[in-house]
Amino acid sequence: MARPPCCGEDEEKVKKGPWTAEEDAKLVDYITNKGHTNWKSLPKLAGLNRCGKSCRLRWTNYLRPDIKRGKFSDEEERLIINLHSVLSNKWSRIATYLPGRTDNEIKNYYNTHIRKKLLQMGIDPQTHKPRTDHRQIINLTQLIGAAQQLNSMMMLSSNSNNYNTNGIIPDGLLTTNLHEAAAKVQLAQNLLHLFNPTTATSASPFLAQQQLSQLFCNQLINTLATAGGSSLMVNNSSNGALAMPGLVSPEASSSTSLVHNNNNVNGGGEMERMKMEAENNNNNYQQNFSDGTTSTATHVGGEYEAWEKMLLMDDDFAVLGGSGFFSSWKDDHLVLE
DNA sequence: AACAAGCGCAACCGCCTCATA
DNA sequence: GTATGAGGCGGTTGCGCTTGT
């Protein structure tokens, strides 16, 4: 049975449409003095002929005192793109990283401004991957540069002498740790998926793109092999995904890829899967490291939050923009055929 | 100046989740 | 275990403003 409207039989009497200044004042005045513990009863108590849901939306999206209005800064825009590439359309989650901005505002901004920009650059605004249907390819040189950057990072990560007793590489060497290394691996995987020529049809008219893809894949694979060797990277499962054997899920008897299937189709990919796995395991997720040590992470406010944070904030993480890989994506990295 | 088209954004709609009885 | 309802979320709509012709 369908749920009745939130305002029930009073619906036809309830005002809809734009709010007047007088209504705004009433709502602000009431919430300032009494707060909002029950949105359903609030309109009546505040003297408003509005549905409680409408009041809530008006307050959270417009009247709240901590709302930052005005144009989004470049920094905010970059952050939104980064967040969206990881969280997909989870606007409320994205909004938590932008103080003063509402999910609705971010959603509108993305759908009107950012989406257009990405499309113009040949990037699919939903998947954040290049749109092959528009004969547009990413600058190979830049991608190989990314792979080389990954290489040097992996060299440090793969050497156990670089870690302290906490499993973290000291700042003096590099501000990173195994988790960051895994994030980089995830990047590599994304790139491989992006450019894996086997995903192109043999009838593809874009031979040049395929050749470049093949070249890039070879470069990247060589770079990764040099950096990590078989001790760090293994070929996992039939999909050819690269795995990091240091991190093993509790259920899996063999290495579980941290990096495959990060396709954002369901808004999360592998990281979301790990979270779900953690939830199904009483919010715990055990990490078994190559040196025999283990650590258990919790889902809520725990390791996965940290993971997410790292993926979102790390300047070196390619798909997330920042000052590292693809730092100039905004300006020049796309080459039109 | 008048009109059409496009754009931006506030607001709404309907579904989902979760707490509670 | 189930039903119910409030709150939350993402998708969509529609109106007013701007820009182009």
Same domain, A153 and A288: yes
Residue range A214-225, pLDDT digits in tens: 544 555 555 444
Residue A125 lies in a domain: no
Nucleotides of C under 7 A from a protein CB: 5-12, 15
Residues A47, A93 within the same domain: no
Specify whether A85 is located in the same domain as A160.
no
> In which domain, by residue range, is A29 found?
8-63
A47 has pLDDT over 80: yes
Domain total for chain A?
3
A286 and A153 assigned to the same domain: yes
A7 confidence band (pLDDT: 50, 70, 90): low
Q: Which nucleotides of B are covered by protein (CB under 7 A)?
A: 7-16
pLDDT at A161: 58
Shortest-distance nucleotide from A90 CA to C1': C10
> Does any domain span residue A265?
yes
Check whether residue A200 and residue A110 sit in a common domain.
Answer: no
Residue A29 belongs to a domain with what CATH number? 1.10.10.60
pTM: 0.52
- Nearest nt (C1') from A113 Cα: B8
Whole-number mean pLDDT of chain A?
55
Q: A164 and A287 share a domain?
A: yes
Q: CB of residue A58 closer than 7 A to nucleic acid strand B?
A: yes
Asked if residue A112 keeps its beta carbon closer than 7 A to nucleic acid strand C, the reply is: no
List, for residues A54-64, the tens digit of each pLDDT value. 888 888 888 88
Separation in Å: C1 C1' and A56 CA:
32
Q: Would A127 be classed as within a structural domain?
A: no
Same domain flag for A291 and A313: yes
Q: Is the CB of A111 under 7 A from strand C?
A: yes
Residue A318, in any domain of the structure: yes
Distance A3 CA to C6 C1' (A): 12
3-state secondary structure chain A: CCCCCCCHHHHHHCCCCCCCHHHHHHHHHHHHHHCCCCCCCHHHHHCCCCCHHHHHHHHHHHHCCCCCCCCCCHHHHHHHHHHHHHHCCCHHHHHCCCCCCCHHHHHHHHHHHHHHHHHHCCECCCCCCECHHHCEEECHHHHHHHHHHHHHHHHHHHCHHHCCCCCEECCCCCCEEHHHHHHHHHHHHHHHHHHCHHHCCCCCCCHHHHHHHHHHHHHHHHHHHHHHHHHHCEEECCCCEEECCCCCCCCCCCCCCCCCCCCCCCCCHHHHHHHHHHHHCCCEEEEECCCCCEEEEECCCCHHHHHHHHHHHCCCCHHHCCCCCCCCCCCCCEEEC
A102-146 pLDDT, tens digit per residue, is 888 898 888 888 888 887 777 777 777 776 554 333 344 344 444
